[in-house]
Amino acid sequence: MSTEPTSPSSSAGSGGLQAITDVIDRLLAPEGCPWDREQTPESLADYVIEECFELVEAIRSGKVHDVREELGDVMFLLAFIGRLYADKGAFTLDDAMEGNAAKMIRRHPHVFAEGECASREELLRNWERIKREEKAAAMAADGDDGNGEAAEATSGDAPGGVFDSLPKGLPPLVKAYRLHSKAARVDFTWETDEDVEQQVEAEWLEWLDASASGDKERQEQELGDFLFTIVELGRRKGIKANAALDYATLKFLRRFEGMEALARERGLDFPNLSFEEKDALWNEVKAAEKA
């Protein structure tokens, strides 16, 4: 079976990528933009984070026009950073994309090679195994002595760990999800959903006990344990806690803004309303949403 990837569809937009490249060429030309000419991969890193957050927000909003715009912003930054590394002689954007395509082919042997995958769990275990093999090969290459032989490992070297590839800067809810996901791929998790539900109950009771104790440090630890276990319960149900919480916050904001709008329409001073009056407005907004 061929292991070559299929050709990208025309919607992939090679012309669009060329258009971005042309813009970057103009910006970085001697007569181009002084600000752009001063940028480095390091100086652009925070912009990548910001634009990715904006892209996620657009996707979750369901506004296709915003998704299109934010996706373009992310692509521009990636192309810009790729150009800066190319100018250093490190690698080109094509190198990065071709390397990624090869990596995806290696990690999907059930699609691109003679292989089968009996279940989603087996697929994820194979994914982690292949990643570890890639990391071991990369470490061996880094230790090559120039004669095709791997240099002897130093005392500081150690086999790659399950969580080595996990970015340290991930937001906590995303990190918790990824920790559970990776642990499950090496069979370190509860056997059944019912076991997790029982653990959630146990963690909740421990939180209640800590809450009654007045010990702030213990309260923080027990609340963290409760949240960590909830993340795993959601993962098993196909729910990402970070996304679920984001949707919940958006729903709260939408309803709160609806309360404020109702108060303005009725000439009410919202901040000075009693809790009961605010709660009545809240219930009105909820009822309107259901209707």
Collect all residues with Cβ–Cβ distance below 8 Å to 123 and sequence separation of at least 6. Answer: 110, 117
Q: How many residues does the chain have?
A: 291
Q: Give the orientation angle of helix 216-236 with respect to helix 172-185, to 10 degrees.
A: 60
Architecture of domain 13-106: Orthogonal Bundle (1.10)
Q: What is the pLDDT along the chain (291 residues), one digit of tens a residue?
A: 444 444 444 344 578 999 999 999 999 999 999 999 999 999 999 899 999 999 999 998 899 999 999 999 999 999 999 999 999 999 999 999 999 999 898 888 888 877 677 677 777 777 777 777 777 777 677 654 444 433 333 444 555 688 887 888 889 999 999 999 999 988 999 999 999 999 999 999 999 999 999 999 999 999 999 999 999 999 999 999 999 999 999 999 999 999 999 999 999 999 999 999 999 999 999 999 998
CB 135 within 8 A of CB 164: yes
User: Could you give the CA distance from residue 6 to residue 104 in angstroms, rounded to a whole number?
Assistant: 12
State the virtual CA torsion across 253, 255, 259, 260 in degrees, nearest 10.
30
CATH class held by domain 172-239: mainly alpha
Q: What is the pLDDT of residue 85?
A: 97
Beta bridge partners of 150: 144
Q: What is the pLDDT of residue 5?
A: 44
Q: 3-state DSSP call for residue 150?
A: strand
User: Could you give the CA distance from residue 231 to residue 76 in angstroms, rounded to a whole number?
Assistant: 34
Domain residue ranges in the chain: 13-106, 113-142, 172-239, 243-286
Q: What is the pLDDT of residue 151?
A: 39
Do the domains 172-239 and 13-106 match in fold?
yes
DSSP state of 149: -
User: Could you give the CA distance from residue 131 to residue 69 in angstroms, rounded to a whole number?
Assistant: 33
Phi, psi for residue 70 in degrees, rounded to 5: -70, -35
At 50, which helix (H) or strand (E)?
A: helix 41-61
| Burial (0-12, 13-18, 19+ Cβ within 10 Å), 145 | exposed
Q: What is the pLDDT of residue 245?
A: 95
Residue 254's Cβ-side half-sphere holds a number of Cα atoms within 13 Å equal to: 11
